[in-house]
Amino acid sequence: VGLDPQSVYILKKFIQKEKERGKTIIMTSHIIQDVDELSDVLNILIEGKVVYSGNKAELLTVSNSTNLEEAVINIYTKRLKC
């Protein structure tokens, strides 16, 4: 289920404010742009198992990628042997 643009804006501002206050936010999403914008630590799951846990810079390095979308695709294709 998606959110309307105003709700997305409000939610992003809320998450950013809570991060600034030192709070941990656990979020799940398939929207890579939101993950890239809001996340400090990423966990990638395939078939219920964590196949990557770390920060974005490390993910770009281990997946030999230039952006987060490409990194996620590379992790999936390598893991799934596509």
Residue 77 has a pLDDT of 87
pLDDT single digits (tens) 15-71: 999 999 999 999 998 889 999 999 999 999 988 999 999 999 999 999 999 999 999
Spatial separation of the C-alpha atoms in residues 18 and 11, rounded to whole Å: 11
Task: Using the structure block, give the residue that is written with the tokens 């230039």.
Answer: 66
Supply the pTM of this predicted model.
Answer: 0.76
What pLDDT shows up at residue 82?
A: 47
- Give the model's pLDDT for residue 2: 78
Higher-confidence position of 81 and 58: 58
